[in-house]
Amino acid sequence: MISSLIFSAIAMGLLMAFTALEHNYAATSDFALNHADQMRISDYLALDLRRALSVQAARNDTSIYIPNYYDANGNPQTPVLDQNGGVYYGALGSSVKVRYYLSAGTIYRQKDNATPTALATNVQDFIFDVTDAGKVVSTKITFNPTFRSSGRAAGDPSAATAFYNTTLLRNKRTDNQIGIY
């Protein structure tokens, strides 16, 4: 009877340890996936925002206009200088629209009319903010919590993960009348 009691206690301990390891593995995997999504969208946003000529910011749907670096055949266009020392590609004033938008919990990137590419999943909110006299663009992306500890309430907003990104624009903005970089 004593050996059965000892065996039961050891078996319960092992069962609890395996369950805890399984929860830990799930939480770590979810964290790694969310972190990879955050880094991916940060890289795409920073690249497009540094090249931006114009930014039309809105909550969960933002358009960025970048120079048209490639012609219709996909060949690089030769840069040309205008009278003011500005650089343009292709026809003067031509640009490519890159749209970032949130749909059904996924952030998509769409270049002109091409098929959208999913960049991040499990997203709760996506906020663009153009600040500092048109020179800085800040973004905030809130990811839904994928793992909850037993101590958190179901609707607890602090359980979500907020990701912030700030990018200094380097091109002369065409949507800003004062022409600040």
What pLDDT digit, counting tens, does each position of 47-89 carry? Answer: 888 888 778 877 788 888 888 888 878 888 888 877 776 677 8
Is residue 109 helix, strand or coil? strand
Q: Does residue 107 register a pLDDT over 80? A: yes
Residues 6+ apart with CB under 8 A from 68: 77, 89, 90, 91, 94, 95, 96
> How would DSSP label each residue in 131-167?
ETTTTEEEEEEEEPPS---TTS-TT-GGGSEEEEEEE
Q: In whole angstroms, give the CA distance from residue 56 to residue 128.
A: 9
Q: Are 141 and 162 in contact (CB under 8 A)?
A: yes
Which tens digit of pLDDT belongs to each residue from 117-138?
Answer: 998 888 877 777 666 556 777 7
Find where tokens 């906020």 sit.
127
Mean pLDDT of 129-158: 64
Please give the model's pTM, rounded to 2 decimal places: 0.71
Closest CA to 112 of 133, 88, 95: 95
Torsion of CA 113, 162, 173, 77, to 10 degrees: -40
Q: In whole angstroms, give the CA distance from residue 139 to residue 42.
A: 9
Q: Are 36 and 42 in contact (CB under 8 A)?
A: no
Question: In the chain, how many H helices and how many E strands?
Answer: 1, 10
